[in-house]
Amino acid sequence: MKFGPVALDDAEGAVTVHALSLPDLMVRKGTRLDAGLIERLRAAGHGEIIAVRAEPGDVWEDEAASRVAASVLGPHAVADAAFTGRVNIRAAVSGLLTVDRAGIDALNMVDEAVTLATLPAFRAVRAGEMIATVKIIPFAVPGNVLERIAALAGPLVRIAPYRLRKVALVSTLLPGLGEKVLAKTARTTAARLAPTGASLIGEQRVPHAPAAVAQAVRAAIGQGAELVLVFGASAIADRRDVIPAGIEAAGGMIEHFGMPVDPGNLLLLGRVGSVRVLGAPGCARSPKENGFDWVLRRLLAGLDVSRSDIMSMGVGGLLMEIPTRPQPREEEMAGSGSTGVVLLAAGRGTRMNGVNKMSALLDGEPLVRRAACSALAARTGPVVVVTGHEAEPVTAALEGLDVIVVHNPTFADGLSTSLKAGIAALPEDVASVVVMLGDMPKVGAELIEKLAAALDPEAGLLVAVPVREGKRGNPVALSRRLFPAILALSGDIGARQIIAENPDAVIEVAVEDEGAFTDIDTREELEALQIHTIAARADVDASAALDGMEAEDA
């Protein structure tokens, strides 16, 4: 491939390297030059252009990407059409991504012009999800590079579809283990299995004793279970503990105990005949991802799991809480789908010159009360108002409203303290929150509802912000997945930092009215808004009177 300046007389068939702006035309990067376009370039004063031209044997980027993708596809992996030298590879079915690490490394070492990137090995994926991408770096690749790749490539990227469908649950009992814990364990396990197409065919609760465990395991296998999960009332502490002893008493064997994944260390892998039996660590009672998930998903996909497989999970085995992970989190699962509102009304409002801003009147009504009424009018959930500076008049302004008033005695330490106080006061069954500011009296119920509805945690959309002409306003909506991050804030910072740290999780909601951008900081601003409000009401009254006169005439 030749790269560099090309005289227009010799440019036909070449491809542009950079975008060009002509008086009546935008020539995009990667455009193939024909005679007509060359004449338009010449008329615009161009004598040459930076372009690339193929040499004998070269393969243009889209064809090259398609050929590389075709050479690496394994079972249940499909390739999209090529564009700009890229081919995305997707899962044709739900399952686990498996990759040939050595083969991919070898492919990427052939030539810097050709790259293949994948999701992590054994990642759980849904049908249609992108699992890998081929990218050709330059505009063309020598044909012999593709020949070398074809010689070494094979089915490097494949999906192992979920195969097991029937799973049995066994729970052992000891005094003090409540019914709520057992019920939650069953619900969490069923939810964990659901994305794989598997389900619980039965749940047994038995005494915490080897003989009882053995009998339950044999009964589950007799009922057709393809996998048995055993949750002990007490954590497995040794290969000779109750759960492993019960598996052996059922005629089975212990294949491995323990794993270098935290949480998940105390996992037990056993077998009774051809049926695998998993002794679950305590963390598996929670929907948060842990080492139990890593082994469970492989078994459900029909993949063998050996001691070596488990002990190789240490790198990356320290699991951290990441809000934007698509897996269900414990905080989200606790939510019923309702959206709470936190109304921040704790600030000092120093620019109001001695007047308490929150209780200042607009059209005869305190600012904080107007904001609270909008929150209550929205079809959402509970409304929490956080007070701080001069809490008494603010609380008095809310008299008679169905709101939860929370006083923040440390409001002077910064906005984060009030935000955290509001979040902590929300009921446990809320799945998200809209954070409002008490000095924004034109925010209406419709905007609150629109922001709440825009959240989609399953799609990774955890923050919703109103936007007009590229400018972001308030309030903002936040998924419960972000509550731990909010509660970790400190100082005079609020949701803005959460938004900045999770840019891919933000959805912008277009708005037309000015309510999301109107706040009151000074007396002058309050007076100006009062005048505007009176004038707007007068217009409405005049319009209504005119309509009435027209109706009488009719």
Q: Is the pLDDT of residue 336 over 60?
A: no
> Residues near 532 by Cβ (< 8 Å), separated by ≥ 6?
none
- Banded pLDDT at 255 (limits 50, 70, 90): very high
Q: Which two tokens stand for residue 415?
A: 């906005």
CB 66 within 8 A of CB 87: yes
N residues, the chain? 554
> Residues near 421 by Cβ (< 8 Å), separated by ≥ 6?
386, 406, 408
- Banded pLDDT at 329 (limits 50, 70, 90): very low
The CATH number of 330-517 is which of 3.90.550.10, 3.30.70.20, 3.10.580.10, 3.40.50.2000? Answer: 3.90.550.10
Q: Is the pLDDT of residue 541 over 50?
A: no
Distance CA 387, CA 40 (A): 67
> Residues near 331 by Cβ (< 8 Å), separated by ≥ 6?
480, 481, 483, 484
Report the chain's mean pLDDT, rounded to a whole number. 87
- Banded pLDDT at 139 (limits 50, 70, 90): confident
Domain boundaries, the chain: 2-53, 58-161, 166-311, 330-517
> Residues near 323 by Cβ (< 8 Å), separated by ≥ 6?
329, 462, 479, 481, 482, 484, 485, 502, 505
Average pLDDT over residues 166-174: 96
Distance CA 388, CA 394 (A): 9
CB 276 within 8 A of CB 310: no
Pure H helices in 119-256: 143-152, 179-193, 210-222, 242-249
Q: Which of 459 and 540 is assigned the larger pLDDT?
A: 459
pLDDT of residue 437: 92
Q: Is the pLDDT of residue 327 over 90?
A: no
Q: Is the pLDDT of residue 488 over 90?
A: no
Alpha-carbon distances, residue 394 vs 23, 209, 361, 438, 477 (angstroms) = 60, 60, 12, 10, 24
Distance CA 438, CA 408 (A): 15
> Residues near 525 by Cβ (< 8 Å), separated by ≥ 6?
none
Q: Is the pLDDT of residue 323 over 60?
A: no
Give the least confident one: 46-50, 100-104, 135-139.
46-50
- Banded pLDDT at 332 (limits 50, 70, 90): very low
Among 94, 90, 65, CA closest to 79: 90
Q: Which of 268 and 415 is assigned the larger pLDDT?
A: 268
Give the CATH superfamily of 58-161.
Pyrimidine nucleoside phosphorylase-like, C-terminal domain (3.90.1170.30)
> Residues near 103 by Cβ (< 8 Å), separated by ≥ 6?
72, 152, 153, 154, 156
Distance CA 552, CA 554 (A): 5
The string of pLDDT tens digits covering residues 441-463 is 889 999 999 999 999 887 778 99
pLDDT of residue 334: 42
The string of pLDDT tens digits covering residues 263-303 is 899 999 999 999 999 999 988 988 888 999 999 999 999 99
Q: Is the pLDDT of residue 163 over 90?
A: yes
Select the highest-mean-pLDDT range: 2-6, 97-101, 481-485, 528-532. 97-101
Q: Which of 310 and 548 is assigned the larger pLDDT?
A: 310
- Banded pLDDT at 540 (limits 50, 70, 90): very low
In CATH, the architecture of 2-53 is Alpha-Beta Complex (3.90)
Average pLDDT over residues 4-29: 75
The string of pLDDT tens digits covering residues 350-399 is 677 667 888 888 888 888 999 999 999 998 889 999 999 889 999 999 99
Average pLDDT over residues 163-177: 92
Q: Which of 22 and 379 is assigned the larger pLDDT?
A: 379
Long-range contacts of 355-361 (CB under 8 A, 24+ apart): 355/523, 356/389, 356/390, 356/393, 356/394, 357/438, 357/439, 357/520, 357/521, 358/387, 358/390, 358/393, 358/394, 358/397, 358/438, 358/439, 359/390, 359/393, 359/394, 359/396, 359/397, 360/520, 360/526
Average pLDDT over residues 122-140: 94
Average pLDDT over residues 180-191: 90
Give the least confident one: 240-254, 436-450, 469-483, 526-540.
526-540
- Banded pLDDT at 202 (limits 50, 70, 90): very high
Average pLDDT over residues 322-330: 48
Q: Could you tell me which CATH class the domain 166-311 is placed in?
A: alpha beta
pLDDT of residue 533: 65
- Banded pLDDT at 335 (limits 50, 70, 90): very low
> Residues near 82 by Cβ (< 8 Å), separated by ≥ 6?
61, 62, 63, 65, 66, 69
Q: Which of 324 and 409 is assigned the larger pLDDT?
A: 409
Provide the 3-class DSSP secondary structure of residue 252. coil
Q: Which of 28 and 421 is assigned the larger pLDDT?
A: 421
Give the least confident one: 15-29, 287-301, 526-540.
526-540
Q: Which of 422 and 525 is assigned the larger pLDDT?
A: 422
- Banded pLDDT at 152 (limits 50, 70, 90): confident
Give the global pTM.
0.57
The string of pLDDT tens digits covering residues 55-101 is 788 898 899 999 999 999 999 999 999 998 999 999 999 999 999 99
